[in-house]
A and B are shown apart, each in its own frame.
Chain A
Amino acid sequence: MSAVKALNPKAEVARAQAALAVNISAARGLQDVLRTNLGPKGTMKMLVSGAGEIKLTKDGNVLLHEMQIQHPTASLIAKVATAQDDITGDGTTSNVLIIGELLKQADLYISEGLHPRIVTEGFEAAKEKALEVLEKVKVTKEMDRETLVDVARTSLRTKVHAELADILTEAVVDAVLAIRKPDEPIDLYMVEIMEMKHKSETETALIRGLVLDHGARHPDMKKRVEDAYILTCNVSLEYEKTEVSSGFFYKSAEEREKLVKAERKFIEDRVNKIIDLKKRVCGDSNKGFIVINQKGIDPFSLDALAKEGIVALRRAKRRNMERLTLACGGMAMNSVDDINADCLGHAGLVYEYVLGEEKFTFIEKCDNPRSVTLLIRGPNKHTLMQIKDAVRDGLRAVKNAIEDGCVVPGAGALEVAIADALVKHKPNVKGRAQFGVQAFADALLIIPKVLAQNSGYDPQETLVKVLAEYAESGQLIGVDLNTGEPMVPAAAGIWDNYNVKKQLLHSCTVIASNILLVDEIMRAGMSSLKG
């Protein structure tokens, strides 16, 4: 009798075998949900809510976030898997699959009487070996554009259809290359992702500059300016009633009017300083002048600026201020007192695009943009979301590859190599922990098996062929999803991220071991244990 029963007779308790069974069934359940997602031939899931909203995804991470997981074990696994995504940007589905499979394989031995502790020791030994293999097979090479394109394509082909994946691949790689600074970590925030519900998804493009989702608020301002100076500033150009000026502090109406005028004059002076600068730098040439202000600009100031041929955008987002100066050059000014020509950035083309009630301002043809925009287009909301998720993952994959300085062959090749090495390594492990090593090796093969299965091939048959080919050639061999035959992923340009795989090996082992070692589940005060 469990101690908790004495304290709370309503508590539900599951012990030893029963506890393990509960946990394993949860892990397998999750695995069943996600297994059809894996790989470029996986199944896309369309989730339609009660109100008719559509969510389209194949990303394990997105799915896990959408599911309202109630089972505590399943939710634990889901949290680990989504944490994997937070850290590396990929590998959620693999994570869930491998954890489920590790538990399934371990269950075989445990049901024959092996203690879970021994199994976890075996897992630990296997993980060490697996990491060694990973180090051995990783390919360290210069991350040229071609390699990065391969990495991005491998990631994106699993999220969107091939034609779109190829478009996104180029865009994503060029975006990262544009913002990369030598010897500095890559800041993906410098890639703005902008959505436009318009045209078809294949018109998604990389804009070497910025797209702002607002436009000038004055009818007389030009909709298209070429060869323009850009003034980025954070200066209030609107008359606001400050606290001193509010109602009942005035002795008389005239005094109030006077103060209001004085304050208004203050704003006018600022506007005039900007106009002066415009006159100085543009002279009589037909160069344009754009003001992009983080604070507000009221109609009077807009009017004054418009009269001088200046295009002004107000209330720019804070995060775009840094991007603006990176894209166009110049400096973000916090006051107009000492503005001069050096503070100004430059763009070859600025134009406005109106879509319904929304306006977009494109700032393009920048000289040396260090911040770029991925403009996602799509005919409907769910396609936009799907592309956005894919683009995020693609960006992460490229960033990972550059920062790792190495890549790992994909298509299940790594898992096959590790499994093979583990089987060979098994005799070196002492005692019954060998079974744990064997279980680990078998569990990893779930990846090539599911890849084959999702493409419509027999998993066992494919696996045997791949293992044989690997043993024979000594090269890293993966599954060719178009033929079901073995192939060399390195030659086909299928590369995965090194750190995704490394993280995967670590987290799967830890979670599977933790779950195996649970020998009692208590639940007090809640409704049910079945899940």
Chain B
Amino acid sequence: MFEAGGVPRAALTLQLGSYAGFVGAHWWNLQDAALRCESEVQEQERKICPDVLYRAGRTLSRQETYTPRLILMDLKGSLNSLKQEGCLYGDTKIDTSVAWQGNLMTHQEDPPAKNLFLQDLSKLEGGMSSDGGFSPRALPLSKDVSQLPTQLHVSQKGHQLEGSVRVWSDYLRVRLHPRSIFMIHQYNDDGESSQLEAFGQGESLLHDPTYLEELEDRLHFYVEECDYLQGFQILCDLNNGFSGVGAKVTELLHDEYSGRGILTWGLTPVIHNVGVSWKDFYRLMNTVLGIVHLSSHSSLFCPLSLNGSLGLKPEAPVTLPYVHYDASLNYHSSAILATALDTLSAPYRLHSSQFSMVQLADAFNSSGRKVVAAGTAVPFPMAYGQSLPDALCSYQLAVPWTPLSSCGEQKDSCCFAQSVVLRGIGKENHISNLPPGSQPKSALHVCETGEEVLGSYLHARCPGTFSTSYLIQGPCKVLPPYPQFFSALLNKQGFLLDKLPSCSTAVESIPVLTALQSSPALYSALYRLYKELHQVDVRRWASFFSAGIELYDFQEALHELRTLSQCYKTSSELDESEDEADTD
């Protein structure tokens, strides 16, 4: 009776870094697409509740707004045409009155060229921004009005955004609250000077009282108004100095908001290079320090990346069977990660369940296993009209998902704990619809609910694993500006067709399967990172250490990484790796 029954258990999202911005922009676009399509969907008992991530507010001119509960940090130069304050709370008229009576000199930068998507967006929203963006770009979005109705399907024809996306703000369609965008002016987004490239630089950024106070103010703004805050989800770049920022931020949250869940996703863009250079060592050191610090301050930490591995010599990026993505485009790779994230996070965003971030973390945390690996099937391969038991039956040998945490394929799918979410399968296909009396093909075909089907499949695949599974009916809506990189075999709803259709249709929604696993594969992945750095003399990169972190602390972190990796050792691996341990 004292539980927060129908009240949404709010979560605050933090995005740290530019790749986090890329993933985040797709993620918010997905949320926005889901919001817009809400009216189309009929009854759903297990529906995702947008209030967990969004907040309702009102502007000075008393217009209702509905904006993400979000703080995003990025470097100077990554906003392009987006205003730092957003456009929702802007002044209604141009106000350039100046508190100065002397001479005034104006330096005006040319407004950046908007790509087709942004042009369409501003056209649709009625913002007369042709004059270069002085006027507010859009009308505020109200929660209950079914936003910007069918017009938006004008943009359905699809823009080829691939060539024109340089920064994440180029394809963000959600409008943000003025407190969301937190720019770091000390470092540049691109160019060759003032880069945020070392962990220590990021850490010391938040030692600066001006940045720290600003962050505390923003956190306070979002947190104070929440009646029931379940926790924080943090998207953080691992490959650059933002891993240091993330370390400080999670430490701050951990100290300040004890008892709340802190879910951290460590992101790495697809790495493609030829030789090993100092940059790879920087990346590796940032990644290692990031993993160690982020996992120790968070409730749960999950590396997310399409890379084959996070080590010095990157392996080929993972392939997804029905998605033809261009690994060199952050716009593409981040879309896949965002889709996975949207489904992974679904359990703690549901209307009905009492499941919270803390509980999700608890399910994995035993024996210090704070790092988990993610896997996804985007889209979940299922033929049109096929039933779930039939679809799962074809995956008796290998699990249907592709690993997204750069820890390689594992030999068997057993792990310590897992949480699997499947969404987008219509209720009529949940169970086998064999005519009564016929012999069921497998144990899956006799289950009476979809949840049972998934549960028994997981039980059969991974016996002895603590599994939780969720079945959510609403599919993942992939409306533009989501890239159309799907195989031509998919129909509009993302189900497989037997043969190539005569005319290709744009995919509008897809079923998605994700898994979060505390898996033994993490042992080798983490241990490999440890070994790669253990072998070299890191003192060669003096500038990395001049930026704030001590050599001693670094060795300490390496040691912690090793300890962390040991948590994932299974008994079979204990013997074979004993000699490795001796070399230490």
Q: Measuring CB to CB, which residues of chain A are less than 8 angstroms from any residue of chain B?
A: 36, 40-54, 56, 58, 65-66, 68-70, 72, 75, 160-162, 164, 189, 197, 201, 213-214, 217, 236, 239-243, 246-247, 257, 260-261, 264, 296, 298-300, 314-315, 317-319, 355-357, 378-383, 386-387, 526-527
What chain B residues lie within 8 Å of A296 (beta carbons)?
A: 229
B99–A260 touching, CB < 8 Å = no
A317–B362 touching, CB < 8 Å = no
Nearest neighbor of A165 in chain B, beta-carbon distance: B99
Residue B326, interface by CB 8 Å: no
Residue B448, interface by CB 8 Å: no
What chain B residues lie within 8 Å of A526 (beta carbons)?
A: 192
Question: Nearest Cβ in chain B — how far from A416, in angstroms?
Answer: 24
Q: List 6 A-B contacts (CB under 8 A).
A: A42-B102, A44-B103, A46-B107, A217-B225, A247-B354, A380-B95
A58–B107 touching, CB < 8 Å = no
- The one of A58, A243, A298 in contact with B227, judged by C-beta atoms closer than 8 angstroms, is A298
Distance of A40 Cα from B102 Cα, bound (Å): 8
Question: Nearest Cβ in chain A — how far from B418, in angstroms?
Answer: 15
What chain A residues lie within 8 Å of B132 (beta carbons)?
A: 52
Distance of A175 Cα from B125 Cα, bound (Å): 47
What chain A residues lie within 8 Å of B97 (beta carbons)?
A: 379-380, 383
Distance of A52 Cα from B128 Cα, bound (Å): 14
What chain A residues lie within 8 Å of B57 (beta carbons)?
A: 357
Distance of A317 Cα from B216 Cα, bound (Å): 7
- The one of B79, B99, B216 in contact with A319, judged by C-beta atoms closer than 8 angstroms, is B216
Residue B552, interface by CB 8 Å: no
A242–B259 touching, CB < 8 Å = yes
What chain B residues lie within 8 Å of A36 (beta carbons)?
A: 103, 105
A241–B356 touching, CB < 8 Å = yes
A50–B109 touching, CB < 8 Å = yes
Distance of A264 Cα from B3 Cα, bound (Å): 10
Residue B101, interface by CB 8 Å: yes
Distance of A247 Cα from B468 Cα, bound (Å): 12
B220–A315 touching, CB < 8 Å = yes
- The one of B81, B91, B209, B224 in contact with A315, judged by C-beta atoms closer than 8 angstroms, is B224
What chain A residues lie within 8 Å of B3 (beta carbons)?
A: 260
B99–A48 touching, CB < 8 Å = no
Question: Nearest Cβ in chain B — how far from A152, in angstroms?
Answer: 17
8 Å CB contacts to A: which residues of B77-111? 77, 79-85, 89, 91, 95-111
What chain B residues lie within 8 Å of A65 (beta carbons)?
A: 185-186
A-B contact count, CB below 8 Å? 159
Given contact pairs A217-B225, A260-B2, A44 touches B112 in the complex (Cβ within 8 A): no
Given contact pairs A246-B358, A314-B224, A52 touches B111 in the complex (Cβ within 8 A): yes
Q: Using an 8 Å CB-CB cutoff, how does the interface string of B346-366 with A read, 1 for contact, 0 for none? A: 000000001110110010000
Question: Nearest Cβ in chain A — how far from B161, in angstroms?
Answer: 19
A48–B107 touching, CB < 8 Å = yes
Question: Nearest Cβ in chain A — how far from B268, in angstroms?
Answer: 25
Question: Nearest Cβ in chain B — how far from A215, in angstroms?
Answer: 9
What chain A residues lie within 8 Å of B80 (beta carbons)?
A: 50-51
A46–B91 touching, CB < 8 Å = no
The interface residues of chain B, by DSSP majority, are classed as: loop
Residue B217, interface by CB 8 Å: yes
Q: Using an 8 Å CB-CB cutoff, how does the interface string of B109-153 with A read, 1 for contact, 0 for none? A: 111100000000000000000001110000000000000000000
Residue B413, interface by CB 8 Å: no
Question: Nearest Cβ in chain B — how far from A238, in angstroms?
Answer: 8
Residue B524, interface by CB 8 Å: no
What chain B residues lie within 8 Å of A40 (beta carbons)?
A: 102
Question: Nearest Cβ in chain B — how far from A353, in angstroms?
Answer: 13
B362–A243 touching, CB < 8 Å = yes
Given contact pairs A44-B105, A46-B107, A246-B358, A56 touches B216 in the complex (Cβ within 8 A): no
Distance of A58 Cα from B3 Cα, bound (Å): 55
Question: Nearest Cβ in chain A — how far from B135, in angstroms?
Answer: 8
Distance of A70 Cα from B190 Cα, bound (Å): 12
- The one of A45, A162, A383 in contact with B101, judged by C-beta atoms closer than 8 angstroms, is A162
Distance of A50 Cα from B185 Cα, bound (Å): 16
Residue B435, interface by CB 8 Å: no
Distance of A503 Cα from B29 Cα, bound (Å): 52
B104–A43 touching, CB < 8 Å = yes
Residue B41, interface by CB 8 Å: no
Question: Nearest Cβ in chain A — how far from B52, in angstroms?
Answer: 16
Given contact pairs A45-B107, A315-B220, A50 touches B60 in the complex (Cβ within 8 A): no
B191–A70 touching, CB < 8 Å = yes
Residue B281, interface by CB 8 Å: no
B216–A51 touching, CB < 8 Å = no
- The one of B84, B104, B260, B356 in contact with A53, judged by C-beta atoms closer than 8 angstroms, is B84
Question: Nearest Cβ in chain A — how far from B478, in angstroms?
Answer: 28
Identify 20 new A-B residue pairs, CB closer than 8 A, beyond the known A44-B100, A48-B106, A51-B112.
A44-B105, A45-B107, A46-B106, A48-B107, A50-B110, A51-B84, A56-B100, A68-B76, A69-B193, A70-B193, A160-B99, A162-B101, A213-B217, A213-B220, A241-B359, A296-B229, A298-B227, A300-B2, A318-B216, A387-B99
What chain B residues lie within 8 Å of A56 (beta carbons)?
A: 98-100
A317–B217 touching, CB < 8 Å = yes
Q: Using an 8 Å CB-CB cutoff, how does the interface string of B404-440 with A read, 1 for contact, 0 for none? A: 0000000000000000000000000000000000000
- The one of B98, B99, B228, B359 in contact with A247, judged by C-beta atoms closer than 8 angstroms, is B359
Residue B531, interface by CB 8 Å: no
Nearest neighbor of A40 in chain B, beta-carbon distance: B102
What chain A residues lie within 8 Å of B44 (beta carbons)?
A: none
Q: Using an 8 Å CB-CB cutoff, how does the interface string of B161-188 with A read, 1 for contact, 0 for none? A: 0000000000000000000000001101
What chain B residues lie within 8 Å of A69 (beta carbons)?
A: 193
B59–A357 touching, CB < 8 Å = yes
Residue B256, interface by CB 8 Å: yes
Residue B447, interface by CB 8 Å: no
Distance of A50 Cα from B77 Cα, bound (Å): 10
- The one of A213, A214, A299, A318 in contact with B256, judged by C-beta atoms closer than 8 angstroms, is A318
Residue B213, interface by CB 8 Å: yes
Given contact pairs A50-B111, A52-B134, A162-B101, A356 touches B223 in the complex (Cβ within 8 A): no
Question: Nearest Cβ in chain A — how far from B99, in angstroms?
Answer: 5
B98–A44 touching, CB < 8 Å = yes
A51–B225 touching, CB < 8 Å = no
Question: Nearest Cβ in chain B — how far from A528, in angstroms?
Answer: 10
Distance of A319 Cα from B219 Cα, bound (Å): 13
Residue B58, interface by CB 8 Å: yes
Question: Nearest Cβ in chain B — how far from A9, in angstroms?
Answer: 19
A241–B98 touching, CB < 8 Å = no
What chain B residues lie within 8 Å of A52 (beta carbons)?
A: 83, 111, 132-134
Question: Nearest Cβ in chain B — how far from A357, in angstroms?
Answer: 4
A43–B103 touching, CB < 8 Å = yes
B193–A380 touching, CB < 8 Å = no
Distance of A1 Cα from B217 Cα, bound (Å): 56
Given contact pairs A46-B105, A314-B224, A317-B216, A356 touches B95 in the complex (Cβ within 8 A): no
Q: Using an 8 Å CB-CB cutoff, how does the interface string of B51-74 with A read, 1 for contact, 0 for none? A: 000000111101000000000000
Nearest neighbor of A527 in chain B, beta-carbon distance: B192
What chain B residues lie within 8 Å of A318 (beta carbons)?
A: 216, 256
B99–A161 touching, CB < 8 Å = yes
Given contact pairs A44-B102, A46-B107, A65-B185, A51 touches B58 in the complex (Cβ within 8 A): no
Distance of A201 Cα from B99 Cα, bound (Å): 8
Question: Nearest Cβ in chain B — how far from A511, in angstroms?
Answer: 19
- The one of B82, B99, B217, B259 in contact with A378, judged by C-beta atoms closer than 8 angstroms, is B99
Listed from nearest, the 4 A-B pairs whose CB atoms lie closest are A43-B103, A52-B133, A356-B60, A48-B108
Distance of A261 Cα from B2 Cα, bound (Å): 8
Nearest neighbor of B60 in chain A, beta-carbon distance: A356
B358–A386 touching, CB < 8 Å = no
B102–A43 touching, CB < 8 Å = yes
What chain B residues lie within 8 Å of A240 (beta carbons)?
A: 259-260
Nearest neighbor of B112 in chain A, beta-carbon distance: A50
Question: Nearest Cβ in chain B — how far from A464, in angstroms?
Answer: 25
Question: Nearest Cβ in chain A — how far from B518, in angstroms?
Answer: 16
Question: Nearest Cβ in chain A — how far from B63, in angstroms?
Answer: 10
Distance of A87 Cα from B281 Cα, bound (Å): 35
B59–A51 touching, CB < 8 Å = no
